[in-house]
Amino acid sequence: MYKPKCMNTISQYFKTIFVCSIVAGTGKFYSQVGINNTNPQATFDISGAPTDSGKIDGVIAPRITGTQLKSKDNLYTAAQDGTIVYITQPLLPADTSAKTTNLLEKGYYNFDASRGTDGEWMRMFHRYPAIAAGATSGSANTGNAMTLTSANSSNGTATMISKSFTLDKPALVMFTFSVPITNVTLANGTGLSGGSSKLLATNVFLTGPGYNNYLIVRSGSSIVNANTGAYTNSGYQVNGTRSLVLQPGTYTANLNPLVFAQDASGVRAVFGDNSYADTVFDIVALPMP
């Protein structure tokens, strides 16, 4: 059947318009994508259904075990920087690789190509501190108050509180203490007199990986006055804090009050009297990325 040339021209014209529309639409699709909305406000914009109690909202990242992700180590390079996955089963520390060294907990991870030699998977969102000891109401000293005496340059000291804790990954650990001191007298129990200085202090010693009964923090108060009536024999409080980056392992921290005097008359003091004030000894660990 004869088809006029003009009809062929019109047909080709509409084909061209149709193809151009698809191309234009495709270009727009790849520039900004909206899910459940027709006006995306970013490269990828998802609208939920907050008022529909029958619909589940949220986004699920690829779910994979630590072992499965480790087997793909060679696939993740700088081109995959920022990739997000959800680890359903973490690795044991002995089973990790350079890239999966942080996959020790269940949760979201992103690939950071700038970490380590060839990049590392980094834990997302979870940086919650863990209470290793203390951080509760009441006194940390569950025993009796401690009376210490020193004279002639001897140290009067003993362990009041001992706390052990275990880290399964590197952490920034914060040690905080506050100890009340009362009934400060000469070594024989009589009222303070003379001009010789007396030291009232508290030490924290740490034992664990890299530390062997190591003094990590000391705080104290030195008292001296030549006038007997000017001495204060109660109401002292020694406070101290120290933060350390510690490696995985088990540690023990000892809180040791201390008195010291060089002279023969010496000094005596009571530490941790709960009837006066609470003793505080808190250890808080913040996991490192």
- Tell me what pLDDT residue 31 has: 74
DSSP per-residue codes, 13-66 = HHHHHHHHHHHHHHHHHHH-EEES-SS-SSSEEE---TT-TTS-----PPEE-H
End-to-end alpha carbon distance in the chain: 77
Mean pLDDT on 178-192: 91
Q: Is 264 helix (H, G, I), strand (E, B) or coil?
A: coil
Provide, rounded to the nearest whole percent, the portion of the chain with pLDDT above 70. Answer: 85
pLDDT tier for residue 193 given thresholds of 50, 70 and 90 = confident
Nearest to 46 by CA among 26, 63, 32, 31: 32
* 269 pLDDT higher than 90: yes
C-beta of residue 179 within 8 angstroms of C-beta of residue 238: yes
| List of residues 6+ apart from 212 with CB closer than 8 A | none
- Tell me what pLDDT residue 19 has: 42
Tally the C-alpha atoms within 13 A of residue 82's C-alpha that lie toward its C-beta: 1
Q: Has domain 130-287 been given CATH number 1.10.3470?
A: no
* 87 pLDDT higher than 50: yes
Q: Tokens 């088990």 identify what position?
A: 250
Mean pLDDT on 234-251: 92
Domain ranges (residues) in the chain: 58-123, 130-287
Q: What tens digit of pLDDT does each residue of 106-133 get?
A: 999 999 999 999 999 999 886 667 787 8
Alpha-carbon span 266 to 150, nearest angstrom: 5
Q: Tokens 């952490």 identify what position?
A: 171
- Tell me what pLDDT residue 127 has: 64
Per the confidence metrics, is the pTM higher than 0.85?
no
Mean pLDDT on 141-149: 94
pLDDT tier for residue 22 given thresholds of 50, 70 and 90 = very low
